[in-house]
Amino acid sequence: MIEVYETIGYLVLGFLSVMWLTKIAKCSLRDYFAAQAMQALLRQYPDHLMNSPASEVACDAYSIADAMLKAREA
């Protein structure tokens, strides 16, 4: 039963963070997706990405964000 409450809590926190970013911080959904993608990339491939230029990592993150937005349209 605790796992259900944890899952619900994560969903609520995720929703509130998206609301805060898009309404208060004026962050677009594309920016939000790119930030999430960058975190995942850095977590998954820390050694490889730490040796890459920041602009290359950012381009990869925005490419993933663009793919996520395109998938939403389908």
Q: Which helix (H) or strand (E) holds 6?
A: helix 2-19
The chain-wide mean pLDDT, for the chain, equals 76
Structure tokens at 46: 């820390």
For 37-67, letters b (16+ CB in 10 Å) and e give bbeebeeeeeeebeeeeeeebeebbbebbee
pLDDT tens digits for range 24-60 = 566 788 888 898 898 888 888 888 777 888 888 889 9
Which of 8-12, 20-24, 28-32, 68-72 ranks highest by mean pLDDT?
68-72
User: pTM of this prediction?
Assistant: 0.63
Which amino acid, residue 36? Q
